[in-house]
Structure 1
Amino acid sequence: MEKENHNNQPAKLGRRDVLKGLATLPVLGILGYGVWKKEKYTNLKNKELSLELDLGYEPPVLHPIPPPRDSRTIRLGIIGYGGRGEHLVRAAGFAHPSVIDEWKKGAKENKNDKRYEDYLAQEDLNVVLAGVCDVFTVRSKRAMEASANLHREGTEGKMEKPAKVYKNYKELLADPEIDAVIIATPDHWHAQMAMDAARAGKHVYVEKGMTRTVDEAFALRKTVEETGIVFQLGHQGRQTESY
């Protein structure tokens, strides 16, 4: 039961609530916290309305976020490694060695070129790129090379074990070693792949557009709610502080 203030109004979300939420999160971080915070806020608003209407109120239990296989590291799978997929994987900390070489060269030639410096300063999200699926072999190979570039040193640097390649995305989803997936395929695949991933127990980040039809949108929402996975749509512009 939520604590109430002296005016019998529901308590607002405070620092204690935030810390309590963060303490229960896997390292999916702000994505998971966003899910928890939204549900918490909805519950508070429902209670506030019930009090105003003098209705009985039973607080619902927050849906638990399924923990990853390893509480210290998230093992990512990428489905679709075209231009957008490569960009998203790079944002997760896995730039292709040739890109690192280009950035290093740029920094040597121009002191104002901060691309490599900014990349090294990028937050360590504590993830590994463990699985890759793309219909084009050349793209899968490039993703493997990026996944091995854990030390961010370029083609002359030390490489680690590369990601496993899957010919079919359902094989990737069936692998218990994968905790979460990034879906960056052509738009018409997004809804089906996201629902398949959720049913396989994988957390999902899917690029926009999320679905092609309203029916697909409702079906995807229902699947996410039923499976309890963490889901995020790639609307980066809407996720900045300016919004």
Structure 2
Amino acid sequence: MSPPLFAVAELGCDFTLPGGLPWQRRHITALDAVTLSIAAGEALGVVGESGSGKSTLARIATGLLPPSRGTRSWLGAAMPPGPHPGIQMVFQDAGSALNPRLRIGRQIAEAPLLHGLIAGRPDDFVAGALERVGLAAALANRYPHQLSGGQRARVGIARALALRPQLLVCDEATAALDVVVQAQVLNLLHSLRRELGLALLFISHDLAVVRHVCERVAVMQAGRVVEVAHADTLFCTPAHPYTHALLSAVPTLSSFG
């Protein structure tokens, strides 16, 4: 059996909150013995309440945050600390993730130029990157504040794809969008997965979105993974009491009637 595209094993992350005196400092375990794997082309959803460790997991997966313990592996080989070009992140708030002082085209081309991935004219590369996510090439000359929220979200995806990753980590990537634009961006991600063979680590508080996007789902509680199952199995017959509680808290039409 071939190794997974990406995996973490016994991952832990601790934080120390500052205090005036040593005994006033608080030590928090954000992740505790998290073990997960993602196959090539697979979408793995991660759900859980606020503070369960989802965003910490995303930042460690992308190398933006070092773990306190545990390992990351890529195709079965241990990964060194720091970012990996095969893993890119799509952030929740594309507006704050983009540099307000740089034009969109420069922000998309910057990393590929650094890694030697642009053989021809940067303008042609940027135009292709924008068109792939459904945006006009002319937007390359605009600044982030001149774009709508949906356009900024698409630019965030285009920038992430510019390094030709095999895994996209989406940390609440559609949470800040209205439902119509959210559906458009989710459909775009679905099309890109089929076109490019992308794997997704899809983090969201919206269980309906996760069920629609992901083949498997991991449930996190207090920094630990308490259940991992196929999406249909997890949503129909949850095994862990916390998963059952999460699903029970989702409002339905009968909740209002």
TM-score grouping bracket, smaller chain normalisation: 0.3 to 0.5
Q: When the two structures are superposed, what TM-score results if normalisation uses the length of structure 1?
A: 0.34
Higher relative contact order (CA 8 A, sep 6+): 2
Q: Which has the larger radius of gyration?
A: 1
Q: TM-score, normalised by structure 2?
A: 0.33
In terms of fraction of residues, the more helix-rich structure is 1
Which has the larger share of strand?
A: 2
